[in-house]
Structure 1
Amino acid sequence: MRPHRRRPAVRIRPAQLPGRRPRAEPEPGEDHDDHLRRGLLLPRSRLLPHRPAVDPHHDIKGRPNPDKVVYVGRDGARLHVTKGRLIVDGADGLPQVSIPRQAVSRIVLTGAVGLSAGARSWALYNDIDVVFLSRRGSYLGQLSGLRDTANARRLLTQAAFAADDGARLPLARAIVRAKLRHQIGVLHRIGRRDSGADIGGACTAIRQLSEDVAHAADTDELMGLEGAASTGYFEALSRLVPEDVAFQGRSRRPPKDLANAAFSYAYAILLAECTGALIAAGLEPSLGVLHASTDKRPSLSLGLMEEFRPLLVDRTVMALLRSQRLRPEHAIDSPDGEGVWLGPEGKKALVDGYEATLQRQVKGALPGFAGTWRRHIHHQAQLLGRAITEPGYEWTGAAWR
């Protein structure tokens, strides 16, 4: 194998783009990386040329480093490929970022961002997921290439399982129990750092609801228990943030404050992560276990992400709010004036925190497995597939303390 030659991760040279004008220089007081990241959410660590050691337990898409994710969130930007590189043009048509194609494993586009036909074909052919989010952060869908893991027999088994209410109820109970267990863990971890907060009552109520899960007669009752737990959980979380970023429980469609805008935006990104993980595991995301199967949502993705909501998103958002990395000025009013969206700087702060969380190395959360939280999502999708297709296999959520 030829040694990898180190070169700048995000730099456009005139020779690489014949006939194109060089991009503008950084503004006064702005360093090179800040200039590149202004309006374009590109986690720097995903663009570096080094390769970490291969995780011996699991390897997403057969590559040693699954964490090379490109985020683009400036309206009018456009992605295309040329001479072996992925190019991001600004709204004025000038190139802003140039990345080697092999340094990209996933692309997340927010708002009115264009994708050329060549970039689309390259992504599909090379199994690069392209995720589409709305300006307010809602999950719209994604491009996913063909996976070798999909097969007709497995999908037929999954369809039969999803249609059998009695068969899927034990797995649905396990999913809800895992989520409630992690909600209690998040409250304990954050609450112990805030001596003035009383989270004991909320934890006791959620623990009681978790015990009731074992007796739920159907998924409708399960969803009711999960909803009651989440109401108390978010009310408790709202008492653990500074006054200037206070929120009153969970609000959606639209979010009413900065905190809820951040929760919704990060949940949309996590939903896309889970959808890609299920496709890679050979499962159909629309055939649900906890959530009813419908044509208009990835119901199984919603089930897979339940335990990861508190583990990955809620912890990250709360840390950003409590450390003032998410601040009131990061919220903007929605165009209709009915809600609140994250502004560009707020999205950057959230994406940075989210990616840092997903790249964190974890041991012991799943039996016999170690790796980043992103790899845990993919591994848990495989285990969910076993629970669906192998009678007698007992699925359990991740262990986290």
Structure 2
Amino acid sequence: MYTLQNTLYVMTPNAYAHLENNTLRIDVEREKRLQVPLHHLGSLVCFGNVLVSPALMHRMADEGKSVVLLDGSGRFKARLEGPVSGNILLRQAHHRSAADGAFALEFARAVIAGKLRNSRSLLLRAAREAADAAEQAQLTRAADNLAASLRALAQARDLDTLRGVEGEAARGYFAALNLVVKPQAREHFALNGRTRRPPLDRFNALLSFLYSMLMNDCRSALETVGLDPQLGYLHAVRPGRAALALDLQEEFRAVLADRLALTLINRGQLGPRDFDEREGGAVMLRDNGRRAVVTAWQERKQEEITHPLLGIKVSIGIVPFVQARLMARTVRGEMDGYLPYLPK
């Protein structure tokens, strides 16, 4: 049985999060806005200029609950957590497997295959629903190109070649996403390639924000099962980079983040007024836009699905934790290879 612990997102500038008895209290301009029992919380995520009391940080660390700091656009800044837990034997196996070139190659291949298959499913679904025949043909062609990338992936003999296949596939996929946006919204939500740090259009700003939240969930999932989020297979190891969390994130980009972004745009839940355009071309979500995205993200995570491999019903928010456990089993040698999440 898997339990989805709640995450509290604080986005109000100058909000003050502090401990009051056994509750977490949020004050804004010295007025109470929210009070939540600590046992209902799994983590606290703060966007931008949010103050957190030392007493609350100590209590969260003592109880194994994380405090995550993001900047106003959702980019990761820091994470506070208690002592590292997990089976040391699993971590030793993880480090040995990362040094095994053949294992790392096959693991990375599975990660990218999951990403490409889920991206292709999104485009094929959009093609079926497209009203314009020419756009339907373009989406189908883009999906066929991803199928060709999957075939090329199977032939790759080193990590650099795998990354090259993934990069080329991603460029074609993001170009096709413009056709999944409803015609009436395209003027305001054109995706001009994938841009970040900073995002240069509204669609990219929305994707970056969603990817930041997804990344936090993937890192938490890996830490929960005892794997080292810093040590990846596909993504190169760099100081401060959660490479394995980035690996795990790949298979969920299309099915969780991209689909939700398209839903918010196509249903008119986000519009131009929910974004700020800043000097230098950077585009960021405004406070109201962030709230709308976070609310939709939390609601999406509560929806139930049947896991295609395990055949059990779980909430979508639990799936990264399920996949992290499958990663751990693969690292231990209990599975022949990693099987990414491929919803039907």
Give the TM-score normalised by the residue count of structure 1.
0.80
- Alignment-derived partner of residue 345 in structure 1: 288
Superposition deviation, residue 263 in structure 1: 0.2
**Structure 2: runs of 5 or more not aligned:** none
Q: Is the 8 A contact 2:45 2:67 kept in 1?
A: yes
CA offsets, 1:310-346, max 9 Å, x none? 1100000011011111111111023x43310011111
SS of the residue 1:70 aligns to:
strand
**Runs of 4+ residues over 3 Å off in structure 1:** none
Superposition deviation, residue 280 in structure 1: 0.6
Instruction: State the AA in 2 paired with 1:103.
Output: H
- Alignment-derived partner of residue 306 in structure 2: 363
- Alignment-derived partner of residue 200 in structure 2: 256
Q: Is the 8 A contact 1:144 1:276 kept in 2?
A: no
SS of the residue 2:36 aligns to:
strand
Is the deviation greater in 221-230 or in 95-104? 95-104
SS of the residue 2:281 aligns to:
coil
Q: How does 1:83-102 map to 2 (within 5 A)?
A: 83-90=21-28, 92-102=29-39
Q: Is the 8 A contact 1:238 1:249 kept in 2?
A: no
Is the deviation greater in 214-223 or in 385-394? 385-394
Select 1:280's aligned residue among 209, 217, 224.
Answer: 224
How far apart in 1 are the matches of 2:270 and 2:19? 34
Select 1:209's aligned residue among 144, 149, 152.
Answer: 149
- Alignment-derived partner of residue 6 in structure 2: 68
- Alignment-derived partner of residue 262 in structure 2: 318
How far apart in 1 are the matches of 2:307 and 2:2? 17
Select 1:333's aligned residue among 277, 291, 313.
Answer: 277
Q: Is the 8 A contact 1:76 1:113 kept in 2?
A: yes
How far apart in 1 are the matches of 2:220 and 2:258? 21
More helix by share: 2
Q: Is the 8 A contact 1:278 1:284 kept in 2?
A: yes
Is the deviation greater in 263-272 or in 355-364? 355-364
**Structure 1: runs of 5 or more not aligned:** 1-57, 61-65
- Alignment-derived partner of residue 99 in structure 2: 163
How far apart in 2 are the matches of 1:126 and 1:189? 43
Instruction: State the AA in 2 paired with 1:161.
Output: S
Identity %: 29
Select 1:191's aligned residue among 114, 127, 132.
Answer: 127
Q: Is the 8 A contact 2:174 2:191 kept in 1?
A: no
Superposition deviation, residue 352 in structure 1: 1.5
Aligned residues: 336
Query: Do residues 302 (structure 1) and 246 (structure 2) align?
Result: yes
Q: Is the 8 A contact 1:131 1:141 kept in 2?
A: yes
Q: 1:383 to 1:391 in 2, by over 3 A?
A: closer
Query: Do residues 228 (structure 1) and 171 (structure 2) align?
Result: no
How far apart in 2 are the matches of 1:189 and 1:139? 32
Q: Based on CA coordinates, which of the two structures has the bigger radius of gyration? A: 1
Superposition deviation, residue 275 in structure 1: 0.6
